[in-house]
Chains A and B, each alone.
Chain A
Amino acid sequence: MSTVQPNPDPAAAPEAVEYVCNIPPGIRRSQEAFRRDLPQLLANKKLEGQWVAYHGDERIGIARSARTLYRECYRRGLKDEEFDVCRIEPEEPDDLDCTPFYE
């Protein structure tokens, strides 16, 4: 059995693949609706930490578990790229570098 090196040689790393952002439009629209509603959702302290599902502008529901909402979306016949399920909590900017300290 070979050993995987802890710090791989960058020269030996697989060829870099140019990253292209590929978020489906249906998910983007759902996220925009979530961001639009987030201040109002956060204003209700009871909702913080719960989950909310959107299909475009339509709010599917709010639940304590994400799985409940995924089930509801699939029950409605929605495809994976048509909805999003988000946790009700303050968002942070995407461009804030979250590099882990050690690994």
Chain B
Amino acid sequence: MPVILRKLPFFNRVTTRPVPGGTVPILPYQIVLSVSIAPTGEEELHPRALRFPAVLDTGFNKAFLLREEHLNQWAGLRREHLRQIGEITAYGQKVPLFRGNLWFHRNVAGWLEEASNLSPFCVDLNRGIAVCPAGMTQPRLPLLGLRGLAAANVQLSFHWWKRLVSIRTTPWWHRFFW
């Protein structure tokens, strides 16, 4: 059962994470993954694809949501690079959905640091990546919702005392035990 994130720490205090052009505050008990976005059809993530933080939000019922500024400045993409496949409503406004893949960057076990020797894990997002058009000021950070995890078919496990989370792929035989 390949491990995607191994004992990734989260914190009980405010921390910061680097992003292109500065840092962002991470609130206590927010689990933050390092991700990249790429158009579908790319079998491997381009080595120079930008990485940026995304909050794991199991209360968000879509796959992935970010602002256009995040897409441009953090992911290094423009909406013209992606194909629109639909739209959703968020924050009272219509928000376009684009076809794209999300790539999870693996970490060094027990650390936030990325494991440069491990290849990133690709998630085909059903109904795509929602991009809040320029001018919208939410969400503060990109959000990975429950549909994104479902599309990845992964399992989460937590160690609450040590505040660690692991994400693994689901083995084929798993369905026989549920």
Interface residues of A (CB under 8 A from B): 1-4, 6-8, 10, 13-17, 19, 21-24, 27, 31, 51, 65-67, 70, 74, 80-81, 84-87, 89, 94-103
Determine if A87 and B90 form an interchain contact, defined as CB atoms under 8 angstroms apart: no
Determine if B134 and A84 form an interchain contact, defined as CB atoms under 8 angstroms apart: no
Distance between B31 CB and nearest chain A CB, rounded to angstroms: 12
| B118 touches A (CB below 8 Å) | no
- Beta-carbon contacts of B116-149 to A below 8 Å, as 1s and 0s? 0000001010110000011111111101010000
CA distance A74 to B21 in the complex (A): 37
| B41 touches A (CB below 8 Å) | yes
- For A94, the chain B residues whose CB sits under 8 A away are 86-89
Interface residues of B (CB under 8 A from A): 16, 18-19, 21-25, 39-41, 55, 57, 59-62, 65, 68-69, 83-96, 99, 122, 124, 126-127, 133-141, 143, 145, 151
Looking at A3, A15, A102, the one whose CB has the most chain B CB atoms below 10 A away is A102
Contact of B21 among A2, A14, A85, A101 (CB under 8 A): A2
CA distance A89 to B146 in the complex (A): 14
- For A98, the chain B residues whose CB sits under 8 A away are 60-62, 88-90
* A23-B86, A94-B88 known; A101 vs B25 contact (CB < 8 Å): no
Determine if A14 and B69 form an interchain contact, defined as CB atoms under 8 angstroms apart: yes
List the B residue with the shortest CB-CB distance to A97: B89
- For B139, the chain A residues whose CB sits under 8 A away are 100, 103
Determine if A10 and B126 form an interchain contact, defined as CB atoms under 8 angstroms apart: no
Determine if B84 and A6 form an interchain contact, defined as CB atoms under 8 angstroms apart: no
